Amino acid sequence: MTVSARRDDFISYEKKYTLIDDCTRGQDAIKNGANFQKYLPLPLGVASTESKKYKLYKELAFYPNIVGRTSEALTGLAFRKQPSFNPEAIEGIEYLADRCSLDGEGVTQFSKKILSHVINYGRAGILVDFPEYGNPTPSIAEKEANNLYSYMAFYPTHSIINWNHKQVGAVKKLNLVVLHEEYLDFTKFDSKYKERWRVLMLDDGVYRQLVYDQDSDEPTKTFTPTDYGENTFSSIPFVFCGSTNNNSDMDKPPMLDLCHANINLYRLYADHRWILHNMADPFRYITNISKREQEDLERQGIKSGATKTLMLSGNSTIGNLELQENSSLSNEIDRSVAMMMAMGAKMVKNDSVNESATAAKIKASTEDSVLLSVMGNVSSAIDEAIRYVCMFEGAEYIKGAFSLDKNVIEEITEAQTLSVVLQAVMSGNSPRLPLYNALKSINLISEDMTYEEFIADIIKERESFNEFS
């Protein structure tokens, strides 16, 4: 087995990841990528993707990137409020607020990248590392002069190709991670992408790093990282972040079902636009003509228009047959769009609109939405990465240094619920009790106010308004 070997469960997810890649990248990837025929099969009567008919069929097709927009909206919603991060509470890691990665991202930007990837693919990884330097315990002056700070490196799920655990007592301990990397190899006037594999492993309980280049069967670099006190690590400073939990299992990508629905909608749009294109020119028909007239017309071609004359026998008629749009196809498109909107909304909140407020609260205590689950997992993963940063920097770790504010979800959904209830009451289609409960649930009226007092206040306000009018 070579260093580039991939786990079977990773291989089983590769096609799913390719689908999500293409769906999130948009129309160009769907229509012109390697899998274009898989996404848009040959229509009936078309033999080849090189035929003019198929090329026109594909050109007319439209891919509405609902997957990409949903992913962006969910990420934006999760970061509607600034994450809670207090670097001053841990002396020595204040720099993370402005630069926690080699790309110069602050911890908020970095966590946003992690969350966006997990929302799409269900999994990501964070490696905490320290730059190569001769002195394992550099002074503050050396750190500042040479930018020597431990950092977090983001690894997409595609790059985490192998991993393993070893049971130590009652605990499963991560003892191997293999990361596939692509990097730019620069020469004087040129550059090209090359591959390498970074192996993180426990060797007799000591954490080591090995780097294999694409043309080498042996490691070209070997490291034994140490903490600020020059102690070796007994665990691998790599953190998994998933959509379900933060273990190493392959979680189902939250966007996968939406991707399948988006491809189905793309095909419906293709068929619909193909039909509309073929309906644009009416079918011309002629009845009651002789065989000779038919042959003459076929030989000469049928000319029509204000300046053209068509000579036919006495009982002949000519007309245009106009096709009607396929309403069943239009209805199916509408249903598909509505279904995808519902799927996206369910990722934000699982509560059914038909549940009572009490039932919804009971359910919310035991079941998170996909977005809430991912937000919690990202918070935990970043916090664990900060723990490793503290080990590298010689800082005292304080648990809970970073967290995303989950209240943004409740505030949005409660406001939406209040809007629906208020509209129903104003239209006369609902009693006032649901409005009373909705206002009370978001603390817009006092917890001590009874329903009778609420109604009495409404009547009093109405009487005052009438007197004023």
Domain range annotation of the chain: 283-321, 408-468
| Composition of the chain by helix, strand, coil, percent to 5 | 45, 20, 35
Asked if 153 and 125 count as a contact pair (C-beta separation under 8 A), the reply is: no
Q: Which residues of the chain have pLDDT under 50?
A: 352-367, 418, 421, 468-469
- Predicted pLDDT of residue 24: 95
- Predicted pLDDT of residue 57: 94
- Predicted pLDDT of residue 311: 60
Identity of residue 194: K
Asked if 462 and 453 count as a contact pair (C-beta separation under 8 A), the reply is: no
- Predicted pLDDT of residue 71: 92
Q: What is the pTM of this model?
A: 0.77
- Predicted pLDDT of residue 228: 83
- Predicted pLDDT of residue 214: 86
- 17-38: buried (b, 16+ CB within 10 Å) or exposed (e) per residue? bbbbbbbbeeeebbbeeeeeee
Q: Find, among 153, 156, 201, the residue nearest to 174 by Cα.
A: 201
- Predicted pLDDT of residue 360: 47
- Predicted pLDDT of residue 450: 87
- Predicted pLDDT of residue 199: 97
CB atoms closer than 10 angstroms to residue 66: 21
Question: pLDDT tens digits, residue range 186-221?
Answer: 877 788 888 999 999 999 999 999 999 988 889 999
Backbone angles phi, psi at 155, to 5 degrees: -125, 115
Asked if 242 and 129 count as a contact pair (C-beta separation under 8 A), the reply is: no
